[in-house]
Amino acid sequence: MIRSMLLTAALLTTPVLTGCSSGADNIASAETLAAVSSNLPQLSGEHVWVVDRSQSILQFRAEHNGDKFTGDLGMFDAAVKLDLENPEGGEIHAVIDLSTIDAKDDDRNANLPSKAWFDVKSFPLATYSAREITGSRDSGYTAKGLLSIKGVERPVTLTFSVEAEGDKAVASGTARFSRADFNVGTGSDFETEEWVKFPIEVLVNITATR
Amino acid sequence: MVTRYSKVAITLHWLIALLIIGQFAGGKIMMAMEGSPLKFELFQLHKSFGIIILLLSLLRLMWRLTHKAPPLPETMPKHEKLAAKISHIGFYGLMIGIPLAGWAMVSAAPIRITTKIFKVVKWPDMPFIARSENLEKTFSQTHEIMSTLIIVLLLIHIGAAFKHHFKDKDDVMTRMVPRLKPKA
Protein backbone atom coordinates (compact mmCIF):
# COMPACT_ATOMS: atom_id res chain seq x y z
CA MET A 1 0.00 0.00 0.00
CA ILE A 2 2.66 2.43 1.13
CA ARG A 3 4.78 1.37 -1.79
CA SER A 4 2.22 2.11 -4.46
CA MET A 5 1.24 5.34 -2.73
CA LEU A 6 4.82 6.41 -2.73
CA LEU A 7 5.29 5.69 -6.37
CA THR A 8 2.19 7.53 -7.44
CA ALA A 9 2.42 10.32 -4.91
CA ALA A 10 2.93 13.80 -6.20
CA LEU A 11 6.51 14.73 -5.52
CA LEU A 12 7.59 17.99 -4.07
CA THR A 13 10.86 19.66 -4.70
CA THR A 14 12.82 20.18 -1.54
CA PRO A 15 15.82 22.41 -1.81
CA VAL A 16 18.88 21.00 -0.15
CA LEU A 17 21.82 22.87 1.21
CA THR A 18 24.62 23.15 -1.25
CA GLY A 19 26.88 20.16 -0.95
CA CYS A 20 30.24 20.45 0.69
CA SER A 21 31.94 17.16 -0.10
CA SER A 22 35.66 17.63 -0.20
CA GLY A 23 37.72 17.26 -3.31
CA ALA A 24 40.24 15.10 -1.48
CA ASP A 25 37.94 12.04 -1.52
CA ASN A 26 37.63 12.35 -5.25
CA ILE A 27 41.35 12.24 -5.80
CA ALA A 28 41.85 9.29 -3.46
CA SER A 29 39.27 7.22 -5.26
CA ALA A 30 39.98 8.44 -8.78
CA GLU A 31 40.50 4.95 -10.13
CA THR A 32 37.25 3.65 -8.78
CA LEU A 33 35.50 6.78 -9.93
CA ALA A 34 36.63 6.09 -13.46
CA ALA A 35 35.19 2.60 -13.15
CA VAL A 36 31.93 4.00 -11.83
CA SER A 37 31.74 6.69 -14.51
CA SER A 38 32.37 4.16 -17.26
CA ASN A 39 28.81 2.96 -16.67
CA LEU A 40 27.43 6.25 -17.93
CA PRO A 41 26.48 6.83 -21.56
CA GLN A 42 28.55 9.31 -23.53
CA LEU A 43 26.29 12.24 -24.25
CA SER A 44 26.96 14.83 -26.92
CA GLY A 45 25.38 18.02 -28.10
CA GLU A 46 25.24 21.60 -26.93
CA HIS A 47 23.06 20.95 -23.86
CA VAL A 48 25.38 18.48 -22.21
CA TRP A 49 26.34 19.50 -18.70
CA VAL A 50 29.52 18.51 -16.94
CA VAL A 51 28.92 17.72 -13.30
CA ASP A 52 31.28 19.41 -10.87
CA ARG A 53 31.63 16.60 -8.37
CA SER A 54 33.34 18.73 -5.75
CA GLN A 55 30.24 20.93 -5.68
CA SER A 56 27.67 18.15 -5.93
CA ILE A 57 26.19 15.81 -3.40
CA LEU A 58 23.64 13.03 -3.27
CA GLN A 59 22.07 12.39 0.09
CA PHE A 60 19.26 10.24 1.38
CA ARG A 61 16.78 10.40 4.20
CA ALA A 62 15.53 7.35 6.01
CA GLU A 63 14.20 6.33 9.40
CA HIS A 64 15.97 3.72 11.48
CA ASN A 65 14.81 2.81 14.96
CA GLY A 66 13.01 6.12 15.40
CA ASP A 67 15.95 8.12 14.11
CA LYS A 68 15.19 10.16 11.02
CA PHE A 69 18.61 10.69 9.57
CA THR A 70 20.29 12.05 6.48
CA GLY A 71 23.14 10.06 4.99
CA ASP A 72 25.51 10.55 2.07
CA LEU A 73 25.26 8.36 -1.00
CA GLY A 74 28.98 8.69 -1.45
CA MET A 75 30.71 8.24 -4.75
CA PHE A 76 28.58 8.89 -7.82
CA ASP A 77 28.73 10.38 -11.24
CA ALA A 78 26.08 11.72 -13.55
CA ALA A 79 25.64 12.52 -17.21
CA VAL A 80 23.13 15.22 -18.02
CA LYS A 81 21.81 16.58 -21.25
CA LEU A 82 19.19 19.23 -20.69
CA ASP A 83 17.94 22.26 -22.55
CA LEU A 84 16.44 24.28 -19.72
CA GLU A 85 14.02 26.02 -22.07
CA ASN A 86 13.06 22.86 -23.87
CA PRO A 87 13.60 19.88 -21.54
CA GLU A 88 11.68 17.24 -23.51
CA GLY A 89 14.71 15.95 -25.38
CA GLY A 90 16.86 15.80 -22.28
CA GLU A 91 18.43 12.86 -20.50
CA ILE A 92 19.65 12.31 -16.97
CA HIS A 93 21.83 9.36 -16.05
CA ALA A 94 23.43 8.70 -12.68
CA VAL A 95 25.47 5.89 -11.25
CA ILE A 96 26.16 5.42 -7.56
CA ASP A 97 28.78 3.24 -5.90
CA LEU A 98 26.72 1.59 -3.16
CA SER A 99 29.79 0.53 -1.20
CA THR A 100 30.52 4.16 -0.35
CA ILE A 101 27.20 4.98 1.30
CA ASP A 102 27.58 6.68 4.65
CA ALA A 103 24.53 6.30 6.88
CA LYS A 104 26.19 8.28 9.67
CA ASP A 105 26.33 5.35 12.08
CA ASP A 106 28.91 2.57 12.43
CA ASP A 107 26.37 -0.21 12.81
CA ARG A 108 24.37 0.95 9.82
CA ASN A 109 27.49 1.26 7.70
CA ALA A 110 28.62 -2.21 8.78
CA ASN A 111 25.32 -3.73 7.68
CA LEU A 112 24.48 -1.85 4.49
CA PRO A 113 26.93 -3.77 2.24
CA SER A 114 25.58 -7.14 3.44
CA LYS A 115 23.32 -9.45 1.45
CA ALA A 116 20.20 -8.35 3.29
CA TRP A 117 20.74 -4.71 2.34
CA PHE A 118 22.61 -3.72 -0.83
CA ASP A 119 24.53 -6.96 -1.39
CA VAL A 120 27.34 -4.88 -2.85
CA LYS A 121 29.38 -7.93 -3.78
CA SER A 122 26.79 -8.91 -6.36
CA PHE A 123 25.35 -5.44 -7.05
CA PRO A 124 27.98 -2.78 -6.47
CA LEU A 125 26.19 -0.03 -8.38
CA ALA A 126 22.83 1.65 -8.45
CA THR A 127 21.83 3.39 -11.66
CA TYR A 128 19.18 5.87 -12.65
CA SER A 129 18.21 6.83 -16.18
CA ALA A 130 15.52 9.31 -17.15
CA ARG A 131 14.57 10.25 -20.69
CA GLU A 132 11.16 11.79 -20.06
CA ILE A 133 11.72 15.26 -18.72
CA THR A 134 9.06 17.93 -18.55
CA GLY A 135 8.65 21.32 -16.87
CA SER A 136 10.23 24.72 -16.98
CA ARG A 137 12.64 26.90 -15.10
CA ASP A 138 9.78 28.65 -13.32
CA SER A 139 7.71 25.63 -12.34
CA GLY A 140 10.54 23.15 -11.90
CA TYR A 141 11.18 19.93 -13.77
CA THR A 142 9.95 16.38 -13.51
CA ALA A 143 12.02 13.50 -14.76
CA LYS A 144 10.50 10.06 -15.14
CA GLY A 145 13.12 7.39 -15.12
CA LEU A 146 14.12 3.93 -14.05
CA LEU A 147 16.04 3.30 -10.87
CA SER A 148 17.97 0.09 -10.61
CA ILE A 149 19.14 -1.23 -7.24
CA LYS A 150 20.13 -4.79 -6.43
CA GLY A 151 19.11 -5.99 -9.85
CA VAL A 152 15.58 -4.61 -9.51
CA GLU A 153 14.45 -1.88 -11.89
CA ARG A 154 11.50 0.36 -11.05
CA PRO A 155 10.10 3.66 -12.28
CA VAL A 156 11.08 6.53 -10.02
CA THR A 157 10.31 10.18 -10.53
CA LEU A 158 12.82 12.88 -9.84
CA THR A 159 11.56 16.41 -9.35
CA PHE A 160 14.04 19.23 -9.38
CA SER A 161 14.53 22.91 -9.90
CA VAL A 162 17.43 24.60 -11.60
CA GLU A 163 19.11 27.88 -10.94
CA ALA A 164 21.30 28.75 -13.86
CA GLU A 165 23.60 31.63 -14.47
CA GLY A 166 25.41 31.68 -17.75
CA ASP A 167 27.09 28.31 -18.22
CA LYS A 168 26.80 27.29 -14.58
CA ALA A 169 23.73 25.66 -13.09
CA VAL A 170 22.73 24.29 -9.71
CA ALA A 171 20.01 21.67 -9.66
CA SER A 172 18.32 20.52 -6.49
CA GLY A 173 15.63 17.94 -6.20
CA THR A 174 14.23 14.84 -4.63
CA ALA A 175 13.18 11.34 -5.55
CA ARG A 176 11.16 9.07 -3.32
CA PHE A 177 10.67 5.34 -3.36
CA SER A 178 10.26 2.40 -1.06
CA ARG A 179 13.26 0.30 -0.15
CA ALA A 180 10.95 -2.73 -0.15
CA ASP A 181 10.41 -2.36 -3.91
CA PHE A 182 14.11 -3.02 -4.41
CA ASN A 183 14.49 -5.83 -1.87
CA VAL A 184 16.73 -3.56 0.19
CA GLY A 185 16.61 -4.85 3.75
CA THR A 186 15.41 -8.42 3.63
CA GLY A 187 15.58 -11.19 6.19
CA SER A 188 13.49 -11.61 9.31
CA ASP A 189 14.41 -8.34 11.01
CA PHE A 190 13.92 -6.00 8.06
CA GLU A 191 11.14 -7.53 5.99
CA THR A 192 8.78 -5.18 7.78
CA GLU A 193 9.07 -1.60 8.93
CA GLU A 194 9.70 -2.70 12.53
CA TRP A 195 13.23 -1.27 12.60
CA VAL A 196 13.72 0.55 9.33
CA LYS A 197 10.89 2.37 7.57
CA PHE A 198 10.26 1.70 3.88
CA PRO A 199 10.21 5.25 2.48
CA ILE A 200 13.52 6.54 1.21
CA GLU A 201 14.02 10.05 -0.04
CA VAL A 202 17.02 10.88 -2.17
CA LEU A 203 18.17 14.47 -2.11
CA VAL A 204 20.01 15.70 -5.15
CA ASN A 205 22.18 18.75 -5.30
CA ILE A 206 24.24 19.06 -8.41
CA THR A 207 26.40 21.83 -9.73
CA ALA A 208 27.22 21.57 -13.41
CA THR A 209 28.74 23.63 -16.18
CA ARG A 210 28.49 23.47 -19.94
CA MET B 1 35.55 -24.71 61.12
CA VAL B 2 33.86 -22.46 58.57
CA THR B 3 30.20 -22.07 59.45
CA ARG B 4 29.13 -19.25 57.16
CA TYR B 5 29.78 -18.20 53.64
CA SER B 6 32.23 -15.30 53.36
CA LYS B 7 31.00 -11.76 52.85
CA VAL B 8 32.27 -11.85 49.28
CA ALA B 9 30.43 -15.09 48.54
CA ILE B 10 27.20 -13.77 50.11
CA THR B 11 27.39 -10.49 48.21
CA LEU B 12 28.02 -12.22 44.90
CA HIS B 13 25.25 -14.74 45.56
CA TRP B 14 22.53 -12.15 46.11
CA LEU B 15 23.75 -9.71 43.50
CA ILE B 16 23.84 -12.37 40.80
CA ALA B 17 20.48 -13.75 41.97
CA LEU B 18 18.85 -10.33 41.52
CA LEU B 19 20.48 -9.83 38.14
CA ILE B 20 19.34 -13.25 36.91
CA ILE B 21 15.73 -12.62 37.88
CA GLY B 22 15.85 -9.17 36.30
CA GLN B 23 17.40 -10.52 33.12
CA PHE B 24 14.81 -13.30 32.84
CA ALA B 25 11.90 -10.87 33.25
CA GLY B 26 13.52 -8.22 31.06
CA GLY B 27 14.31 -10.79 28.37
CA LYS B 28 10.71 -12.01 28.25
CA ILE B 29 9.37 -8.45 28.13
CA MET B 30 11.68 -7.23 25.38
CA MET B 31 11.02 -10.29 23.24
CA ALA B 32 7.28 -9.66 23.43
CA MET B 33 7.63 -6.01 22.41
CA GLU B 34 7.04 -4.45 19.00
CA GLY B 35 10.09 -2.86 17.42
CA SER B 36 10.79 0.57 18.88
CA PRO B 37 13.69 2.63 20.17
CA LEU B 38 12.74 1.41 23.66
CA LYS B 39 12.94 -2.22 22.58
CA PHE B 40 16.36 -1.54 21.12
CA GLU B 41 17.50 0.08 24.38
CA LEU B 42 16.16 -2.88 26.36
CA PHE B 43 18.16 -5.26 24.18
CA GLN B 44 21.29 -3.20 24.79
CA LEU B 45 20.57 -3.14 28.53
CA HIS B 46 19.98 -6.91 28.51
CA LYS B 47 23.33 -7.42 26.80
CA SER B 48 25.02 -5.09 29.30
CA PHE B 49 23.64 -6.87 32.35
CA GLY B 50 24.40 -10.22 30.71
CA ILE B 51 28.07 -9.37 30.44
CA ILE B 52 28.02 -8.15 34.06
CA ILE B 53 26.55 -11.51 35.12
CA LEU B 54 29.20 -13.35 33.11
CA LEU B 55 32.04 -11.43 34.74
CA LEU B 56 30.59 -11.66 38.26
CA SER B 57 29.95 -15.39 37.83
CA LEU B 58 33.52 -16.03 36.69
CA LEU B 59 34.74 -14.06 39.69
CA ARG B 60 32.44 -16.05 41.91
CA LEU B 61 33.62 -19.34 40.46
CA MET B 62 37.24 -18.33 41.12
CA TRP B 63 36.31 -17.34 44.65
CA ARG B 64 34.50 -20.61 45.21
CA LEU B 65 37.44 -22.62 43.96
CA THR B 66 39.88 -20.78 46.21
CA HIS B 67 37.73 -20.47 49.34
CA LYS B 68 36.22 -23.32 51.25
CA ALA B 69 32.43 -23.33 51.51
CA PRO B 70 30.95 -24.24 54.89
CA PRO B 71 30.29 -28.00 54.94
CA LEU B 72 26.75 -29.30 54.70
CA PRO B 73 25.25 -30.55 58.00
CA GLU B 74 26.30 -34.07 58.87
CA THR B 75 22.66 -34.92 59.45
CA MET B 76 21.99 -34.46 55.74
CA PRO B 77 21.45 -37.72 53.84
CA LYS B 78 24.00 -38.63 51.20
CA HIS B 79 21.60 -38.29 48.26
CA GLU B 80 20.62 -34.78 49.39
CA LYS B 81 24.26 -33.77 49.60
CA LEU B 82 24.76 -35.12 46.10
CA ALA B 83 21.67 -33.25 44.85
CA ALA B 84 22.97 -30.04 46.42
CA LYS B 85 26.33 -30.50 44.74
CA ILE B 86 24.78 -31.20 41.34
CA SER B 87 22.44 -28.21 41.57
CA HIS B 88 25.30 -25.90 42.55
CA ILE B 89 27.41 -27.11 39.65
CA GLY B 90 24.35 -26.63 37.45
CA PHE B 91 24.01 -23.06 38.64
CA TYR B 92 27.61 -22.23 37.85
CA GLY B 93 27.30 -23.87 34.44
CA LEU B 94 24.15 -21.89 33.63
CA MET B 95 25.32 -18.58 35.14
CA ILE B 96 28.32 -18.72 32.83
CA GLY B 97 26.71 -20.61 29.96
CA ILE B 98 23.66 -18.37 29.47
CA PRO B 99 25.57 -15.13 28.92
CA LEU B 100 28.09 -16.98 26.75
CA ALA B 101 25.26 -18.32 24.57
CA GLY B 102 23.79 -14.82 24.38
CA TRP B 103 27.12 -13.37 23.42
CA ALA B 104 27.64 -16.11 20.80
CA MET B 105 24.16 -15.42 19.41
CA VAL B 106 24.91 -11.73 18.98
CA SER B 107 28.27 -12.58 17.43
CA ALA B 108 26.76 -15.04 14.94
CA ALA B 109 23.91 -12.74 13.90
CA PRO B 110 24.24 -11.60 10.28
CA ILE B 111 23.10 -8.17 11.43
CA ARG B 112 25.95 -6.39 13.14
CA ILE B 113 24.93 -4.40 16.15
CA THR B 114 27.75 -3.19 18.33
CA THR B 115 27.45 -4.25 21.95
CA LYS B 116 28.13 -1.26 24.15
CA ILE B 117 27.96 -1.96 27.84
CA PHE B 118 25.67 0.67 29.33
CA LYS B 119 26.25 2.67 26.13
CA VAL B 120 29.87 3.28 27.14
CA VAL B 121 32.23 0.34 26.88
CA LYS B 122 32.44 -1.35 23.50
CA TRP B 123 32.27 -5.12 23.94
CA PRO B 124 33.78 -7.17 21.10
CA ASP B 125 32.02 -9.99 19.31
CA MET B 126 33.05 -13.50 20.29
CA PRO B 127 36.05 -14.58 18.21
CA PHE B 128 35.92 -17.52 15.79
CA ILE B 129 32.16 -17.36 15.35
CA ALA B 130 30.87 -17.35 11.79
CA ARG B 131 28.04 -15.02 10.83
CA SER B 132 25.17 -17.30 10.03
CA GLU B 133 21.46 -17.19 10.59
CA ASN B 134 21.35 -20.89 11.49
CA LEU B 135 24.13 -20.54 14.03
CA GLU B 136 22.41 -17.50 15.52
CA LYS B 137 19.21 -19.51 15.85
CA THR B 138 21.01 -22.40 17.54
CA PHE B 139 22.64 -20.11 20.10
CA SER B 140 19.38 -18.26 20.59
CA GLN B 141 17.53 -21.48 21.37
CA THR B 142 20.34 -22.60 23.68
CA HIS B 143 20.17 -19.24 25.45
CA GLU B 144 16.42 -19.54 25.94
CA ILE B 145 16.39 -23.18 27.05
CA MET B 146 19.17 -22.56 29.57
CA SER B 147 17.32 -19.49 30.86
CA THR B 148 14.24 -21.59 31.51
CA LEU B 149 16.42 -24.22 33.17
CA ILE B 150 18.01 -21.73 35.54
CA ILE B 151 14.61 -20.46 36.65
CA VAL B 152 13.47 -24.05 37.30
CA LEU B 153 16.69 -24.66 39.21
CA LEU B 154 16.14 -21.40 41.11
CA LEU B 155 12.69 -22.53 42.23
CA ILE B 156 14.11 -25.88 43.37
CA HIS B 157 16.92 -23.97 45.11
CA ILE B 158 14.49 -21.71 47.00
CA GLY B 159 12.32 -24.70 47.89
CA ALA B 160 15.34 -26.56 49.21
CA ALA B 161 16.51 -23.55 51.22
CA PHE B 162 13.08 -23.22 52.85
CA LYS B 163 12.98 -26.95 53.53
CA HIS B 164 16.30 -26.69 55.34
CA HIS B 165 15.23 -23.62 57.28
CA PHE B 166 11.68 -24.50 58.25
CA LYS B 167 11.58 -28.30 58.17
CA ASP B 168 15.10 -29.48 58.90
CA LYS B 169 15.79 -26.33 60.96
CA ASP B 170 19.49 -26.38 60.10
CA ASP B 171 21.81 -23.52 59.13
CA VAL B 172 21.98 -24.26 55.39
CA MET B 173 19.88 -21.19 54.50
CA THR B 174 20.97 -18.78 57.23
CA ARG B 175 24.64 -19.01 56.38
CA MET B 176 23.94 -17.47 52.99
CA VAL B 177 21.65 -14.75 54.35
CA PRO B 178 23.32 -11.49 55.35
CA ARG B 179 23.08 -10.62 59.04
CA LEU B 180 21.13 -13.77 59.87
CA LYS B 181 23.06 -15.54 62.57
CA PRO B 182 22.86 -19.31 62.53
CA LYS B 183 21.13 -20.89 65.44
CA ALA B 184 23.45 -21.84 68.24
Residues A161 and A153 sit within 8 Å (Cβ to Cβ): no
The verdict on residue B146 lying in a domain is: yes
Using the beta-carbon criterion (under 8 Å), do B40 and A65 form an inter-chain contact?
A: yes
Complex ipTM above 0.85?
Answer: no
**pLDDT at residue A160, as a whole number:** 98
Confidence band, pLDDT 50/70/90 cuts, at residue A4: very low
Probe site for chain A from B30, B112, B133 (most A CB atoms < 10 A): B112
Nearest Cβ partner of A194 from B34, B111, B112?
A: B34
The verdict on residue B135 lying in a domain is: yes
Probe site for chain A from B111, B116, B131, B133 (most A CB atoms < 10 A): B111
Residues with Cβ within 8 Å of B73's Cβ and at least 6 positions away in sequence, in order, are B168, B170, B171, B172
Question: What is the CATH architecture of A2-209?
Answer: Beta Barrel (2.40)
A-chain residues within 8 Å CB-CB of B36?
A: 65-66
Min Cα separation A95/chain B (Å): 27
The verdict on residue B130 lying in a domain is: yes
The verdict on residue B181 lying in a domain is: no
pLDDT of residue A8 exceeding 50, the answer is no
Shortest CA distance from A189: residue in chain B: B111
pLDDT per residue as tens, chain B (184 positions): 678 899 999 999 999 999 999 999 999 999 999 888 999 999 999 999 999 999 999 999 999 999 989 999 999 999 999 999 999 999 999 999 999 999 999 999 988 899 999 999 999 999 999 999 999 999 999 999 999 999 999 999 999 999 999 999 999 999 999 876 655 4
pLDDT of residue A207 exceeding 50, the answer is yes
Beta strands in B49-177 (DSSP E): 115-117, 121-123
Alpha carbon B80 to its chain's center: 22
**pLDDT at residue A1, as a whole number:** 43
Using the beta-carbon criterion (under 8 Å), do B112 and A187 form an inter-chain contact?
A: no
B151 burial via Cβ count (<10 Å: 0-12, 13-18, 19+): middle
| Structural domain containing residue B94 | 7-66+79-176
Using the beta-carbon criterion (under 8 Å), do A189 and B114 form an inter-chain contact?
A: no
> Which CATH number goes with the domain that contains B25?
1.20.950
pLDDT of residue A10 exceeding 80, the answer is no
Q: Is A86 helix (H, G, I), strand (E, B) or coil?
A: coil
Min Cα separation A106/chain B (Å): 8
How many distinct structural domains can be found in chain B? Answer: 1
The residues with which A205 forms a beta bridge, in sequence order, are A57, A172
What's the CA gap between B133 and B119, in Å, rounded?
A: 26
pLDDT, tens only, A148-169: 999 999 999 999 999 999 899 9
- The Cα-based distances of A49 to A52, A112, A183 in angstroms read 9, 32, 33
Domain ranges across chain A: 2-209
Average pLDDT of span A79-103: 95
